[in-house]
Amino acid sequence: MSRANWEVVIGLETHTQLNTASKIFSGSSTAFGAAPNAQASPVDLALPGVLPVMNRAAVERAIRFGLAIGATVAPRSVFARKNYFYPDLPKGYQISQYELPVVQGGTLTIRVGEGDKAYEKVVRLTRAHLEEDAGKSLHEDFHGMSGIDLNRAGTPLLEIVSEPDMSSSAEAVAYARALHALVRWVDICDGNMQEGSFRCDANVSVRRPGEPLGTRREIKNLNSFRFLQQAIDYEIQWQIEQIEDGHKIQQATVLFDPDSGETRMMRSKEDAHDYRYFPDPDLPPLVIAAEWVDEVRRAMPELPAALAARLQSDYGLSAYDAAGITASRETAQYFTDALAIAGAAQATQLAKPLANWVMGELAARLNREERDIAQSPVSPAQLAGLVARIADNTISNSIGKKVFDALWNGEGPDADAIIDAQGLKQVTDASAIEPIIDEVLAANPKSVEEYRAGKEKAFNALVGQVMKASRGKASPAQVNELLKKKLGG
Amino acid sequence: MSSPETVKSLAAKLAAGEASAVELAQDYLARIRAANAALNAYVELNDEQTLTEARAADALRAEGRAGLLTGVPIAHKDIFCQTGWHARCGSKMLESFAAPYDAGLIERSRAAGLVTLGRTNMDEFAMGSTNESSYYGAVRNPWNTDHVPGGSSGGSAAAIAAGLAPAASGTDTGGSIRQPAAFCGISGIKPTYGVVSRWGMIAYASSLDQGGPMARTAEDCALLLNAFAGFDERDSTSLQRPAEDYTRALAQPLAGLRIGVPKEFFGDGMSADVRAAVEAALATFRTLGAVTVEVSLPRSGMAVPAYYVIAPAEASSNLSRFDGVRYGYRAPEYGNLDDMYAKTRAQGFGAEVKRRILIGTYVLSHGYYDAYYLQAQKVRRLIAEDYEAAFAQCDLIMGPTTPNTAYRIGQNDEDPLAMYLGDIYTTSINLAGLPGMSIPAGFGADGLPVGLQIVGRWFDEARMLGAAHQFQQATDWHLRTPEN
């Protein structure tokens, strides 16, 4: 069996929890982690006679998203009731949008893969609609009974539906990551996947090239990129095996079990609910005036794609670097702050090394210490100062790392102060470097001999010795040049 | 015979210091205790609660802060959530339920200083036209206790007709204020959809439900509507409009008023005595200077079928919350979760409610939605267009409220469709969202009251109330009581 003979078709439905202070149809708080049912008002409890009132802030976030993906923000959209019984669904229906969603169409450009194999792809979006979340059923700690926590009931969600434009788990993950970055970029969702603020359902099918679309199965509720990848890969493999074994794929909803790495069936098409959608008579159609959309547009931040293009055209960053810097709004903010501090005259020259530092040393260190870039101990100004000193040859790149550590540990207010205090200024004066070279050559006759016998490696060992003896301060370029001269002479 | 008490006469007594709110409340509570067992109009009485409200009203008056209605007693339909009282909505499902909040109408009633006498009986979840579907027993018509008072606001209508309340709140989804008003010989108005808040009013069919006042006279209805109407930000279908004085047209003469009489409202199903009474009433209007013109509402026949698709569809969804999980009735014994739902709802709801949930679930089902629900919504638009066309030729539309006088108790037990067809003149008004009222217009051959229905343009309640008041100045049907 080989996957080479198969085409994979994937579409994603993503539930993003909107970061409003209160719920979508009631005034209750949406804060995470309160005592069970402490944030459940009569509306959230669906007591008799209560009514929903639309939260304007949730609509505003939907507009922001629509603008971010170049979609149509519907001037008129309709809330519908999705009817089914479940203990954590207090009204016996979920208020959602069905036939006329608030956001229609749009695209998201994703970058897949790395290095030479990297490519871009435009994923089309079908729609995004506003709806309310359900509560939670708690099946532990109740002596065989179930508990219901309605704190989450009524939390605003934007369900974002893609077209089935992805053809591998890598593309699906790239889409999910890009979407995750975008909703945080335009500040409509905190993106916290552990708390369930961003969760994906993946519709997966396979077919032989040229054949019509296969039957899809929907993997529900994937709340990490890793699970998304694993679940899709497992599902693809499973479907191919089924078909190659002569079975037909039945439409179904499945769950992914992270422990076993497998998907298992939750319900078949036959068990599917008839949700009996109809327009909610408690809510008039949602009418969004063009003026409101304009107002939201004016307050929009520069979008990642636009910023990435600008970083390439104005500062000569590569597409790869520009994508990395704009992968999150915080990283982009950090980078553009640092550029601004470097000043217009220097920015073009410093942009590339700054990008390397931000995505290299800084990212690695933040990652290691599990910190967000917004809480970086090394400020954009400090990093800009450091990179400027490397660029003007005051220090070497490797001494730069030493200075970075010192800044991280708060050993000085800026790179210059640390360079001065610790005497790290690069030595470029030949008269200061030559004695060190002489000492090293005298102490390593074997390496000298090997080099003369044609071993290039021996030369590098000697450079290393000189650098070490200069405590890293000697200019590597200078050392190279002088050493060559002496050995060749 | 002395004239029966009205909201206006009681307000005057209170203002003149001839009676206190506590005395009025005690007087009514004594009458209720004497007569309610025979009528079953009230389902909850709480003397202490009533007297607390009455004392507060008297205190306000003593401080010189009384409004026009402060201290006047009122009965509230058991559909409105009201702190201090149960809100059982005529159902076993809500036998234990007491709301922790006031409905919008209740808040306004309190703010006006009205004193709650008790909670009136109703068809279960407002589904019914006879008040026989109440879990708390049928209400009897004070004019003849073998007959129904109409429904669903039957308790409110019976209480007023029997002198057990000068006024009451009601709700009207397909005629539930107007039809019991007609059957009991009182006045009642269903305002334009959106005029009275639906917050805290237990929903039957959200796009049709509208609260309103019931009283003996049109003038009382105007005074009460002044208290009840107004924007409520908690109800997204509530309309934001400038405050309005619904009494402003009461004194207006009717000369030149154009009354449209829909020919479709005088068709076959109508009984001869109702026809005679309504035609006599129209003749009275002509003597008062109005002119009657024949109009046509060609889609009238579609109103009942459209109503019995849309209302049950919304009801089937609205009543899903009664699932035994969070409050209200839960079956004492059950197996799994589905069994809990099934038994709770099988035991907690009565037959008429179950029938409408079944109809509503069916018409919303995949494959039937377009043929029923969507089609009914189209009919609904056409019906509204019919009214708009008719109102191009007239200022008000008048006709019978019901084709017959009050049914005998048990008359429709085997034939719910016959009961549904009795809503033939009332449902179209809800479908169009128009204001409609019923006022007493005489009696049938059986001695039971006949109602005249008055329909206005959207937000034209003041004109309707004015015409009704002028009619009541010229007639005394509204002053008749079962005792005289």
Report pLDDT for B2: 66
Whether residue A48 and residue B89 make contact (CB cut-off 8 A), yes or no, is: yes
| More confident position, A98 or A320 | A98
pLDDT at A1 > cutoff 60: no
Q: Is B1 helix (H, G, I), strand (E, B) or coil?
A: coil
Provide Rg for chain A, Cα atoms.
29
The catalytic position among B8, B20, B77, B156 is B77
User: Is residue A209's pLDDT more than 60?
Assistant: yes
Check pLDDT > 50 for residue B282: yes
Looking at the predicted structure, is the pLDDT value of residue B447 above 80? yes
Least confident of A1-5, A134-138, A373-377, B356-360: A1-5
pLDDT tens digits along B401-422 = 999 999 999 998 888 888 888 8
The candidate with the shortest Cα–Cα distance to A273, out of B365, B344, B309, is B365
For chain B, what percent of residues have pLDDT higher than 70? 99
Mean pLDDT on B454-462? 98
The ipTM assigned to this model is 0.96
Amino acid, res. B357: I
* Model confidence pLDDT, tens digit, residues A393-432: 888 888 899 999 999 999 999 999 999 888 888 777 788 8
Shortest alpha-carbon distance between residue A89 and chain B (Å): 9
Average pLDDT over residues B100-106: 98
Q: Is B83 on the interface with A (CB under 8 A)?
A: no
3-state secondary structure of B230: coil
Task: Say whether A338 sits in a helix, a strand or coil.
Answer: helix
User: What does the pLDDT read at residue A353?
Assistant: 94
Query: How many whole angstroms separate alpha carbon A285 and alpha carbon A78?
Result: 5
Please name each of the domains of chain B with its CATH number. Answer: 7-255 (3.90.1300.10)
C-beta of residue B40 within 8 angstroms of C-beta of residue B123: no
Q: Given a cut of 60, is residue B45 above it in pLDDT?
A: yes
Q: Is A46 on the interface with B (CB under 8 A)?
A: yes
In tens, the pLDDT along A66-81 reads 999 999 999 999 999 9
Instruction: Say how far apart CA B348 and CA B323 lie, in whole Å.
Output: 9
Using the predicted structure, report yes or no on whether residue A470 has a pLDDT greater than 90: no
**Within an 8 Å CB–CB cutoff, is residue B362 touching chain A?**
no
Would you call B320 and A83 a contact, using CB atoms and an 8 Å cutoff? yes
Give me the pLDDT at residue A487, please: 83
pLDDT level of residue A2 (50, 70, 90 thresholds): low
- Of the candidates A46, A53, A282, the beta carbon closest to that of B321 is on A46
Q: Which two tokens stand for residue B318?
A: 């609205």
What's chain B's length in residues? Answer: 484
A164 at B interface, C-beta within 8 A: no
Chain B partners within 8 Å of A54 (Cβ): 236
Cβ-defined contact of A91 to B364 (cutoff 8 Å): no
Q: Per the residue annotation, which of B91, B109, B134, B152 is the catalytic one? A: B152
Catalytic annotation present for B152 = yes
The predicted pLDDT at position B484 comes to: 63
Interchain pair B99, A49: CB under 8 A: yes
b/e B452-471 (16+ beta carbons within 10 angstroms → b): bbbbbbbbbbbbbbbbbbbb
**pLDDT(B242) > 90:** yes
pLDDT tens readout for residues A340-373: 988 877 888 899 999 999 999 999 999 999 999 9
User: Measured between CA atoms, how close is B237 to chain A, in angstroms?
Assistant: 7
* Radius of gyration, CA atoms only, chain B: 21
pLDDT of residue B8: 98
Whether B89 and A148 lie within 8 Å, measured CB to CB: no
- Mean pLDDT, residues B98-118: 98
pLDDT of residue B312: 98
β-sheet bridge partners, residue A148:
A137
Lowest mean pLDDT among A303-307, B385-389, B419-423: B419-423
Which residue from B104, B174, B80 is spatially nearest to B421, judged by alpha carbons? B174
Taking contacts as CB-CB distances below 8 angstroms, the residues of chain B near A24 are none
Question: Using the beta-carbon criterion (under 8 Å), do A53 and B200 form an inter-chain contact?
Answer: no
pLDDT at B336 over 60: yes
Give the Å distances, CA to CA, from B6 to A23, A369, B77, B331.
46, 79, 19, 45
Backbone angles phi, psi at A263, to 5 degrees: -100, 150
What residues does each domain of chain A span? Answer: 3-293, 302-421, 430-488
Residue A453 pLDDT greater than 80, yes or no: yes
Structure confidence at residue B1 as a pLDDT band (50, 70, 90): very low
Q: Which of chain B's residues have a Cβ under 8 Å away from the Cβ of A148? A: 325-326
Indicate yes or no: CB of B235 within 8 angstroms of CB of A274: no
Rounded to the nearest angstrom, the minimum Cα separation between A270 and chain B is 14
Residues of A in contact with B362 (CB under 8 A): none
At B413 the pLDDT is 84
Overall CATH class of domain A430-488: mainly alpha
Residue B40 has pLDDT above 80, yes or no: yes
**Distance, CA of B341 to CA of B324 (rounded, Å):** 7
* pLDDT of res. A113: 87
Q: Is 60 exceeded by the pLDDT of residue A109?
A: yes
Interchain contact, B199 vs A50, CB within 8 Å: yes
- The answer to whether the beta carbons of residues A127 and A103 sit under 8 Å apart is yes
Q: Counting beta carbons within 10 angstroms of the beta carbon of residue B349, is it exposed (0 to 12), middle (13 to 18) or buried (19 or more)? A: buried
Residues of chain B contacting A46 with CB distance shorter than 8 Å: 321, 326
Residue A489: the pLDDT is: 52
CB contact residues (below 8 A), chain A span 141-160, against chain B: 148
Verify whether the Cβ–Cβ distance A42 to B100 is below 8 Å: yes
State pLDDT tens for residues A161-200: 999 999 999 999 999 999 999 999 999 999 999 999 999 9
Does residue B38 surpass a pLDDT of 90? yes
Question: For residue B320, what is the nearest residue in chain A, using CA coordinates?
Answer: A92
pLDDT, one tens digit per residue, over A283-302 is 999 999 999 999 999 999 99
- Whether chain B has a CB inside 8 Å of the CB on A37: the answer is no
Where is pLDDT greater, at A1 or A288? A288
pLDDT (tens digit per residue) in A49-68: 999 999 999 999 999 999 99
- Mean pLDDT for all residues in chain A: 92
Under 8 Å CB pairs connecting chains A and B tally to 99
pLDDT of residue A141: 76
Q: Indicate which residue of B109, B153, B169, B176 is catalytic.
A: B176
Are the Cβ atoms of A93 and B317 closer than 8 angstroms? yes
For position B269, what pLDDT does the model report? 85
SS3 call for B115 = strand
